[in-house]
Each structure stands twice: as C-alpha cells, then as structure tokens.
Amino acid sequence: MKVIQIFNSIKLQSLKPWHSLICGLSVVFFGCNPTPEACLDVSASSVQVGERIVVSDCSQKSHNNTIDMGDGARFLDQESVPHSYFVPGAYAVQLTAFSKKGDKTELVGQTISVSAPSTASVLGSWKLSTVDTYEQLELDPTISLFDYPKIKSETFEEIWNISEKEIQVAHISEDYFIFENVLPYSYSNGVVYAGNTQFRIVRQNSSQMIWKGYYFKGFKLIYLSK
C-alpha cells in the first residue's frame, strides 16, 4: 500500500509541469477572449454650441471600439476623439467595446447637454471682420464645420449694434456690406431670423461670435468680434 502511495505521489509531481503548460496553452489558444469592460471619459458634459469636448476610451480588456457621438458622427477604433456640436440639444454619446474575437461587447454611454447662447450675450456692439465661404457637397458629421474646403475669404469693416429688435450697421468701408443700415430681426435657441434669411450661431464667447449662413454649394461663416 505504501509503495502505491509513493508511486502516485511521484506520478502527480511529474505531471505538474505538463499540467501548467497545457493550461497556459489553453489560455493562449482558447481562453484569451475576455469580456471587455467598457469605460467612457468625457472632458465636459455641459457645453455651449461650438465648444470642443474630448471623448476618450478608458476601457479594459478591449480590443477595439466604436464611439457614437449622438449627432450622426461615428468613429471606429479611436482612443480619443475631439468633437463639437453646432446645434443645441441633448446628445447621447455611446462607446461600444469589443473583445478580440468580436463576439463579446459592452456598451457605456453619457449624455452631453449643448446650450445656445443667451439673448443677452448676443446683444451689444460687434465688429464684422471676415466672411469665409465653404463648400459642402455632402454632409459628413465627423468633419468639423471649420474643416470643410474653403472657397474664399472676404474682409469687411462693419460695426453691428445689436439690440433686442434690430441690427444697426455702421459701414466703415463702403466697398462691401452684408446688411442695410437697419435690419429687424428675432432670435430663438441659437438662430437669428433676419428677413427671409436664417443664421445659426455656431460659436460664441465673450469676445467672438460666429454665424453660419446659407451658400448654394455649402455655407458661409460670419466672424464677429468685440
């Protein structure tokens, strides 16, 4: 009986290295496909239109990803994505993390609140300096407004005094002008309604305001500064 116990002990000891090797090979060839742990990091959850945020993938055990910005923009296999929203609203940002084989996924999301400039911030005296014209033959949400092909850039010298009901324009130079001297308008949720024309405010801070206007092949960006 004792001889049998000794034999079994020797047999088990001799098999341990092979057992470890087999387990290791099993992990390499069959078990190296863990379920990803999705993680999403957003630089800001509440911004104004045109303000840039950065969305980063902080997932663990993930092989690749998709990042959906909630406005039609979708990015594949990116560790970090800078992005701007130009229309106010609530946007659901979602990151899907994939396992190595792609058969296991995990989804995580966060809502980004984008607000329009207040009426008070639009009022005051602004200097019109530049109007850039861009070509946009088709919409690509992954491309920023400022990254489309620029057709031309025009320089203006006008002072816009914006009150609650009208825009009074002082033409420093008579070479060019966009509006007549007085233009009635209204403002709501980031959109300026002036006559039959609409302008969307796509960026605004204490020293600069950018309006987006119509162009038959794309759009114009009107730069105002204080």
CA distance 61 to 37: 6
CA distance 131 to 108: 40
CB atoms under 10 Å from CB of 210, counted, come to 23
Predicted confidence at residue 11, as pLDDT, reads 43
The residue type at 28: V
E runs forming strands in the chain: 40-42, 46-48, 52-57, 64-68, 74-76, 80-84, 89-98, 105-115, 124-135, 150-162, 166-171, 182-184, 186-188, 191-194, 197-204, 208-215, 218-225
CA distance 105 to 215: 43
Predicted confidence at residue 19, as pLDDT, reads 41
Q: Give yes or no for a contact between 212 and 116, defined as CB atoms under 8 angstroms apart.
A: no
Q: Which of 89, 75, 82 is nearest to 46 (CA)?
A: 89
Dump pLDDT digits (tens) for 121-162. 999 999 999 999 999 999 999 999 999 999 999 998 899 999
Which run of H or of E encompasses 22?
helix 2-26
Mean pLDDT on 109-115: 98
Predicted confidence at residue 113, as pLDDT, reads 99
Fold of 119-225: Lipocalin (2.40.128)
Question: What backbone phi and psi angles, to 5 degrees, belong to 182?
Answer: -130, 130
For domain 40-115, give the CATH superfamily: Immunoglobulins (2.60.40.10)
Lowest mean pLDDT among 22-26, 75-79, 222-226: 22-26
Mean pLDDT on 59-77: 96
Those residues whose C-beta lies under 8 Å from the C-beta of residue 16, and which sit 6 or more positions away, are: none
Q: How confident is the model at residue 29 (pLDDT cuts 50, 70, 90)?
A: very low
Judge whether residue 23 has pLDDT over 60.
Answer: no
Predicted confidence at residue 157, as pLDDT, reads 87
In the chain, where the domains are located: 40-115, 119-225
The residue type at 114: V
